[in-house]
Structure formats: structure tokens, C-alpha cells
A = this chain, B = another copy of it.
Amino acid sequence: MALTDETPVTARSTDPLGTVIPSTVPTHWYNLAADLPEPVPPHLHPGTREPLGPEDLAPLFPAALIAQEVSTERYVEIPQTVREIYALWRPSPLIRAARLERAIGTQARIYYKYEGVSPVGSHKPNTAVAQAYYNAVEGITRLTTETGAGQWGASLSMACALLGLTCEVWQVRASYDAKPYRRFQMETYGSVCHPSPSDLTEAGRAILAEHPDTTGSLGMAISEAVEAAVKDPGAHYSLGSVLNHVMLHQSVIGQEVLVQLADAGERQADTVFGCAGGGSNLAGLTFPLIGQNLRDGTTTRVVACEPAACPSLTQGEYRYDHGDVAGLTPLLKMHTLGKDFVPPSIHAGGLRYHGMAPMVSHAVNLGLMEAVAVDQDTAFAAGVEFARAEGIIPAPESTHAVAAALAHARSVTEPEVVVIGLSGNGVLDLPAYSSYV
């Protein structure tokens, strides 16, 4: 750890560098709330069941993010420093899957939007960088979070390294022990990663006292990360999905798709397939296209692709529920399988969540997007087919979108434009592919 001295310090790290940013990197985030025919239902206080006020969130989040959580502004300017970091890998490519089209013999023109070019290989840094930035400019020096398989923990760790914050991650012990690569990634970025439950928090100690052999859960890890943030005035907590401000930050994906499709000479996307776990990749990819439908009369069909083993949109109820197992978080209006739902241990760890982002749930409820469930074998089969035609081995999460898109593309009888959201690559999920192959 001799290099910690060389980590850029906070004061310098949030200043813009003044570098030339390609005009193809979006200047603003797009907020679907501005174009919805009905407002997004508010989050409720878990005790009073009244709508949350800014003061309820202030111990955990900086003012800028709390404002974004309830904003109905259509466009929110992206700070220059955040754009400069985005420009390290954005715009992410939109690629014509011509070899895949030939392999399956479809009339569809298939494009995929590939978020795997980010340094951690997924879309998660789009919001991690924004969240770290707003915390840093507000004087926060430390962020805490939880992570399951580790994609979010790695993304926030990277963002904190670039913006001069320290980062402390509670990782579900089962993943901490079984999948160490993401932890190594966090540590390389300078973060500290604890297995959860840990003896570092009251919540963790209480759990361990009762269940000394537990392998942990996201709900437990959330409790520990939140407690650690609340107890340190210099710290805040960070969440990688579900919340409205996360959907906002991810909108760079879909905004780029609109520009890139036009550059490719396409009038509109006819059908878009995105995988749906907590909802952030799906929202980022599709909300700008849904907004265009609402404002400009395009007719893009949006399909959320969720795992059959954790079908919150296709099987869940649309009601207020907690985001965590312990019931400590605010009540969110969402499609949910119930906070006590225990998803089977499917390979696509990023899709194992009992609920769905309120904005995505609302959009489905309003009929602005559809949902399908895809079983795991079908998803992996599509992932392998994609890899052998296009080279990229998709993340297990992304294969759900690939599978639904392939089924659709095989059935079309007229030319149309299909867009697949490839939320990340599967490099650290190769054991799962191996089990399948």
C-alpha cells in the first residue's frame, strides 16, 4: 500500500482538467420524469409512511443527489469533471451485429450498445462517478456501500480513486469468499472491502451473535454500510441502482444510442431489449427512447428482459415495499416479489433483486414498456451464440436481453431495427459460462 501517498488529493481531483471532450459525450442527463403522463410515486418514510423530505436523506446523500431524486427537470447538466471521466470510455460503441444477423438469417438490422468498454467492464461507473463527484464537492471524504458479486463495489471504488475519496465496501460474505477477483479490483483502486456481516458495525455484530455461520445477504450488507456512513460526519452512503438519481445518470447510454442510430442512417429503433435487475441499465438504455416516443411520436417498442428465476416485473405485485430485507430503507413503489423473497442462486448476480426501480416499475405500469422473463439456459445459449458471432462474451445479465432479441429477430418477417443493451462483458463470469458449456 506504499502508493497511497500518490493518490490524487480531493481538492485537486474535482477540478476540471480543461481537456477537450468529444462532442459525442452527452452534456446533460435526461430525466424521464419530465415527460411522464403521471408523476412517479414518491418514496415514503418507513415509519410515518409520509413522503420523504430532503432532511430524511441528508445523513446519507449529498444535497445535489437528493435534489435529483425528486427533480422533474428534463435535462440536468453533467459537471465538466464528470464528463471528463466519462470521456475515458464514452461514448460507448453502438455496433452493428452483422455477423450475428448472417448467422441467424434475420431481416432485422441488429445493433448492440456495449457498456463493457468501461474500466470495470459494465455500465455501473456511469452513476458511480457522478455520485462520487457530488459527494466530493460537498466535502465528503469517504463513501460506504454494499456489494454482492462485486460489480458495484468495484465501480464505486474506481470512481472514488479518481475523485480522491476513500471507499469502504461491505461485500456479502458468500461472494467475498467465492469470487475474489472483484475484491482484488476494489483493493487495487485503494478501497477497503469487508466481508459482511462483519464485527465492525453494531448491525453486523448483532447478526453474527445470532447467526455466527451466516454467509450474508445484500440486506445485511446495506445495514452495515448505512450504519458506518451515519456514524461518520465525513462519510456518506452510495447506492448503485433502484433510486431515481441513478436512473438519471445512466441516461447517457440511451442518449448516445439516439445519436449513434441517426449517424448510422436509421430513423428510429423499432425494438429495444435491455436486461432488468434493479433497473439502472434498463432505464439508462431505454428512458431517452421512451421520452422520444412521448414527445416526438416515435414508436420504439421497449422490452425489459428479466430472469425467470427472479421475475419482479412479470410476476411481482406493484405496491410499496422496502428496498432491503430488514425493512430499514424507505418504502418504494415498485414491482416486487416481496422483500423476503430469496432468489435462487442464478449466475446473473446483478439481476437477483426482489424489487424493481420505481421509475421502471412506473413506466411498465403506464404501458410505456413491456416485460418478458427468460430462463437461464436460454440466456446462456444466446450468450454463447453471440460470442461466437461477435467476439464479445456478454455478461450473464446481458444475455437475457440477447436471448429475447434473438428470439424476436428470428421471427420478424420485415426489415426492422433491433437494439440490444449489452450492459457489460462476462470476463469475470467465465466460470458460469464454463458450467453451461
Query: Which chain A residues have a beta carbon within 8 Å of chain B's beta carbons?
Result: 1-3, 6-8, 12-13, 17, 19-20, 84-85, 88-89, 93, 95-96, 98-99, 102-104, 117-121, 125, 158, 161-162, 180-181, 183-185, 187-190, 264, 381, 384-385, 387-393, 425, 427-428, 430-431, 433-434, 437
Tell me the complex Cα distance, A390–B88, Å: 8
What's the minimum C-beta distance from A177 to chain B, rounded to whole angstroms?
Answer: 14
Judge whether A385 and B3 touch: CB under 8 Å: yes
Knowing A7-B388, A381-B2, A385-B3 are in contact, say whether A102-B17 is a contact too (CB < 8 A).
yes
Given contacts A6-B388, A8-B103, 14 further A-B contacts (CB under 8 A): A6-B104, A7-B388, A19-B96, A19-B98, A85-B99, A88-B391, A119-B391, A119-B393, A158-B387, A161-B391, A162-B390, A180-B431, A184-B434, A188-B387
Knowing A189-B388, A434-B180 are in contact, say whether A162-B2 is a contact too (CB < 8 A).
no
Tell me the complex Cα distance, A180–B390, Å: 23
The interface residues of chain B lying within 8 Å CB-to-CB of A102 are 8, 12, 17
Judge whether A385 and B6 touch: CB under 8 Å: yes
Judge whether B8 and A388 touch: CB under 8 Å: yes
The interface residues of chain B lying within 8 Å CB-to-CB of A189 are 387-388
| Contact among B1, B13, B430 with A185 in the assembled complex (CB-CB below 8 Å) | B430
What's the minimum C-beta distance from A261 to chain B, rounded to whole angstroms?
Answer: 14
| Contact among B17, B118, B425, B430 with A98 in the assembled complex (CB-CB below 8 Å) | B17
Tell me the complex Cα distance, A264–B20, Å: 9
Judge whether A8 and B391 touch: CB under 8 Å: no
Tell me the complex Cα distance, A357–B181, Å: 33
Judge whether B3 and A381 touch: CB under 8 Å: yes
Knowing A6-B385, A385-B6 are in contact, say whether A437-B393 is a contact too (CB < 8 A).
no
Q: Could you jot down 14 A-B contacts, CB within 8 Å?
A: A2-B381, A6-B103, A8-B103, A8-B389, A19-B98, A84-B99, A89-B391, A117-B117, A161-B387, A161-B388, A180-B431, A184-B431, A184-B437, A188-B384
The interface residues of chain B lying within 8 Å CB-to-CB of A3 are 381, 384-385, 388
Judge whether B188 and A393 touch: CB under 8 Å: yes
> Closest 6 A-B residue pairs measured CB to CB?
A119-B391, A184-B430, A184-B434, A161-B388, A17-B98, A119-B392
Smallest Cβ-Cβ distance to A187: which chain B residue = B437
| Contact among B8, B95, B188, B437 with A433 in the assembled complex (CB-CB below 8 Å) | B188
What's the minimum C-beta distance from A5 to chain B, rounded to whole angstroms?
Answer: 10
The interface residues of chain B lying within 8 Å CB-to-CB of A96 are 19
User: Could you say which of A89, A190, A264, A388 has the most chain B C-beta atoms within 10 Å of its C-beta?
Assistant: A388
Tell me the complex Cα distance, A201–B188, Å: 42
Smallest Cβ-Cβ distance to A183: which chain B residue = B434
| Contact among B8, B89, B264, B433 with A99 in the assembled complex (CB-CB below 8 Å) | B8
